[in-house]
Chain A
Amino acid sequence: MDDRWTAEHVLSLSPDAASRKAAAELGTADPWSGTGANETAVWGACRGSGSRPYRTVVALDGPAYHCSCPSRKFPCKHALALLLLRSAGELTGAAAPDWADAWLTARRQHADGAASPTASATGPADSPTPAPARDDAAAAARRRRREARVAAGAAELQARLEDQLRGGLADAPTRGQAFWEGVAARMVDAQAPGLAARARELGALPASGGSWPSRLVEEYGLLHLLAAGYQRVDALPAPLAATVRARVGFTVDNAEVLGGGPLIRDRWLVLGSRDSADDRLTTRRLWLHGARSGRLALLLSFGRPGVAPELALPTGLEVDADLAFHPAARPLRAALGSRYAAPVAPTAPGPVGVTLDAALTEYARALGEDPWLESWPTVLTGVTPVPTESGWQLVDATGAVPLRTASLWRLVAASGGRPVTLFGECGHRGFSAVTCWTEAGSLPL
């Protein structure tokens, strides 16, 4: 059984450090009974603090989880511990008990019935969930009304930006914050959350260190370009128009993308994931790389504050699945369609990457197609983290870029001063590292 996931793969599914620890502690045969596994699922009962053991079952093709424990974490520690037992080869039973079978069967039936069986990614909490199209005319009218409001908002934003430029930058550090908060609130009213978010960032920018005036003017320009672009969105080429709409804040539902776009089936290598949280929701980014298509994809999944998003894929494994890309000038965000098998270890030890020079060229090209891009997901090969006078940098034979990572020392220790393969986002502020590959395997940073 060489497709067994390693414990590291399993632990990369943990929503947080506490779950990792709890799972490692439960990942011994001691509290478990009636465990077993077959090709598609694992199950077992775990003694908890209550009188009745918790019943846990994991469908490997998701992975999807079901557990009778009250935990709000996803996957819960019991599901992770079961998967750990599986990677240790300690699951003995082969016939699923009735309760596990019932859930697995129900899940399969649901999958057969639904158009997008396992698409669990939903739009952000603030996006209007599209009602079933009972009344196309009414929906179209609603959409036209919103477009008009956004256009009005964009026009107002252009005027505000031009005022700021005319008034000079001297007041930006003192009065900018409140001013842009107000503008952001106006953009929310105009139903343009994308414009609102960018406007809010303008308020904080003067406090972000040296050379802020030039960066502020740059952001003014980009935001002005976006607002102006939206005014003429109907005249733009379709991919660029889609990018402008998405950046302004129009969301496209994943189900719509899966229903409308071509499905690309491939063996998608999970390059890494990153969670970020604000006061409204938790966002999980999962990056994939197609073995045959060579395409990069970004899956977004959202959760309520303090709750892990539902979509979790083990970093470093390959998923045989359908993807549909959201339309964009530079397609990246995708919706996950059918998954055909449980994630398995890839044939190659790690992804194939490029030199720094090639990565920067690629980012520049991406920026040519979508000027609002902050960064582009990239795998680098043969780069070494090196300390310099101006902070840590990634170096290879073709050049050097600033390195940004939350766990710098883990990366430095893993590299030991030797070249590594590194996945992350290559952007105008440097390279932000997400996952590192060494001879020992993948290391989420």
Chain B
Amino acid sequence: MDRPRRGRAARHQPARQPRPPRPRRRADPRPARGAAARPGPARARPAPLDERPALPGPAARRLASLLAESGSELLPQWLGRARDRGFALPPALVPSLLDAARQRSDLRGDAVALAGPLGRWLAGMNPDWRYVLRLPSADEDAHPEARAGADAVWQEGLFAERVTHLTRLRRRDPAAGLALLRSTWRTERAEDRLLFLDALQEGLGAGDEEFLEEALADRAKNVRATAAELLSTLPGSALSERMAARARLAVAVGPEGGLVVEPPAACDTGMQRDGIAPVSPTGRGDRAFWLGEVVAATPLSCWTELLGAPERALALPTAPEWADELHEAWARAAVRQHAADWARALLALHQGRGTSGTQSRLLSVLPSAERAAWTARFVLEQGLAEAFQLLVTCPPPWSEELAEAVLDALARAAAAGAYPWSHSGVLGVAERSLPFAAAARADALAEASSSAWAEVFTRLATTLRTRSAMLAELA
């Protein structure tokens, strides 16, 4: 077999006697012995066995059909639930899952966890799935030696993977996360430093103050500002004390009992070092901007000591030219410091006015039940046109009250002859967040609507039923 193989037909005379010849080359597809003599790679070790319970059959078929349609809306929810339940996937579905997560990086965490040891084993053979090896594996918490491998992500991973890794590490061990960030801090690019710094929000604590104080002297302005913002949310940090001192100079209780506001007259080096820009970037006056920055970074406890409960503080008569500025800054502080009492009081002031980014940010500080109730009231009074941002902050499944409010508003829009597509944002959130029981109501609305809206409500009902069936399969 080592001599050059020749096609059988070349040796074979065109047959006058069609006696089947001995078709040597054609009968043997094995690699020629010469090729086999080259040492090929040793046979790969088999994949480690997966100890998790097998996915139930209906759920497996559901996953197969979700993977078959690209960009499925339901896939993220399915993966999250299946991961929480700790199932092992049917091996034959793992390749399509890894392909899907390659296209959509938002799926990667859940997909890699679900693919488990088989996924990592496959990724070792297919460069398309290299990302799997860069993500920390599910069992790294159990095996310290796996952690060393996970730290390779920090050295070699893509930026998004490094952020994920840092965030997870902070969740588990804030000090280790900080140490990891410090180890490469000087060599990171400015825009990366900014986002890594953001990741420190996870598990932020007193141990981070020293590092953040150093970052106040960073070369990049955005990094300085972010460090200052983080420090201002650290209760008792030196920066928030400095800000509180400045704030008390700017805002005081006057002889009439009202608030006297005297914004900073200049932005001194100390203020600049604490992340306040010397020139207003917002289009407001410099002094108004400085006032806002100082108050937003001041611990709210400082005001409760000075003025009493937030409702009372907000009710105090205030110099009209600074009142908006002050309230806006308090709102920012309430969001930064997750102060539900202040957020509640500030939202009460907003009630009945159009929405704004401020409102949805304040909402996100409230407990979710309260958030839903507030949003339901808003939808009832204002309709859906402005409600999208608020609805997004309400975690699924929505309360009955909120679901009713949204469906009522959609019914009103349908009756008024609005275009369905002008509500596509709200409909998208509703598909993801309505409780399954709302399907019956959506059916009834479909019955009562004209064609375009009937189709919208039918699709809404179908999606809700599908989601309900999907989660039941994973129960």
User: Which residues of A approach B to under 8 Å, CB–CB?
Assistant: 6-8, 11, 17, 20-21, 24-25, 28, 30, 88, 158, 161-162, 213-215, 217-222, 224-225, 228-229, 232, 236, 240, 244, 360, 363-364, 367-371, 384, 386-390, 393, 395, 399-402, 407, 409-410, 412-414, 416-418, 426-431, 438, 440, 443
Contacts and interface: CB of A to CB of B under 8 A. Distances in A.
A399 B30 contact: yes
Contacts of A369: 20
Given A386-B43, A388-B41, A7 B57 contact: yes
A21 B70 CA distance: 13
Interface string B8-33: 11101011101011110111111100
Contacts of A88: 58
A417 B15 CA distance: 46
A7 B61 contact: yes
Contacts of B283: none
Contacts of B18: 225, 228-229, 232, 236, 240, 244
A394 B28 CA distance: 14
B43 A368 contact: no
Given A24-B64, A367-B23, 8 more contacts: A224-B15, A225-B18, A228-B14, A229-B15, A395-B43, A400-B30, A431-B29, A443-B92
User: Nearest 7 CB-CB pairs, A to B?
Assistant: A221-B9, A417-B46, A409-B95, A364-B27, A214-B7, A416-B47, A229-B18
A302 B358 CA distance: 65
B12 A402 contact: no
A400 B25 contact: no
B432 to A, nearest CB: 18
A222 to B, nearest CB: 7
* Most B Cβ at <10 Å: residue of A232, A236, A413: A413
Interface in B256-315: none
Contacts of B62: 24
B65 interface: yes
12 contacts: A7-B58, A21-B69, A25-B466, A217-B10, A221-B10, A360-B28, A367-B27, A386-B44, A389-B38, A401-B29, A427-B29, A428-B27
Interface stretch (B106-114, B118-126, B132-140, B362-370): B118-126
B6 interface: yes
Contacts of B20: 367-371
A162 B95 CA distance: 49
A229 B14 CA distance: 10
Contact of A225 (B14, B28, B96): B14
A406 B9 CA distance: 30
Contact of B29 (A11, A25, A368, A430): A430
Contacts, number: 153
B40 interface: yes
Contact of A417 (B41, B57, B69, B121): B121
A220 B11 CA distance: 12
Contacts of B26: 218, 367, 428
Given A25-B466, A401-B29, A414-B92, A218 B61 contact: no
Interface of B: 5-10, 12, 14-16, 18, 20-23, 25-31, 35-36, 38, 40-41, 43-47, 57-58, 61-62, 64-65, 68-69, 90-92, 94-96, 118, 121-122, 125-126, 465-466, 469
A416 B117 CA distance: 10
Contacts of B90: 440
* Most A Cβ at <10 Å: residue of B35, B92, B95: B92
A316 B40 CA distance: 35
Nearest to A233: B18
A30 B126 CA distance: 41
A240 B15 CA distance: 15
A367 B22 CA distance: 8
B10 A214 contact: yes
B9 A416 contact: no
B61 A24 contact: yes
Contacts of A426: 29
B33 to A, nearest CB: 11
Contact of A429 (B29, B43, B46): B29
Contacts of B28: 360, 364, 428
Nearest to A411: B92
Given A225-B15, A370-B20, A371-B23, A215 B7 contact: yes
* Most B Cβ at <10 Å: residue of A28, A390, A409: A409
B29 A360 contact: yes
Given A360-B30, A389-B41, A428-B26, A414 B14 contact: no
Contacts of B36: 400
B465 A363 contact: no
Contact of B125 (A222, A225, A236, A412): A412
Contact of B9 (A219, A236, A370): A219
Nearest to B89: A413
A400 B121 contact: no
B300 to A, nearest CB: 51
A412 B122 contact: yes
Contacts of B58: 7, 88
A10 to B, nearest CB: 10
A240 B22 CA distance: 16
Contacts of B23: 364, 367-368, 371
B339 to A, nearest CB: 47
A83 to B, nearest CB: 13
A429 to B, nearest CB: 6
Given A221-B7, A228-B18, A370-B20, A417 B44 contact: yes
A402 B44 contact: no
A390 B8 contact: no
Contacts of B122: 409, 412-413
Contacts of A215: 7
Given A360-B29, A368-B20, A387 B125 contact: yes
Nearest to A428: B26
B131 to A, nearest CB: 16
A225 B8 CA distance: 12
A376 B472 CA distance: 46
Given A21-B65, A21-B69, A221-B8, A418 B29 contact: no
Given A11-B61, A228-B15, A390 B95 contact: no
Contacts of A427: 29
Contacts of A371: 20-21, 23
Contacts of B30: 360, 399-401
Contacts of A244: 18
Contacts of B25: 218, 428
B95 A413 contact: yes
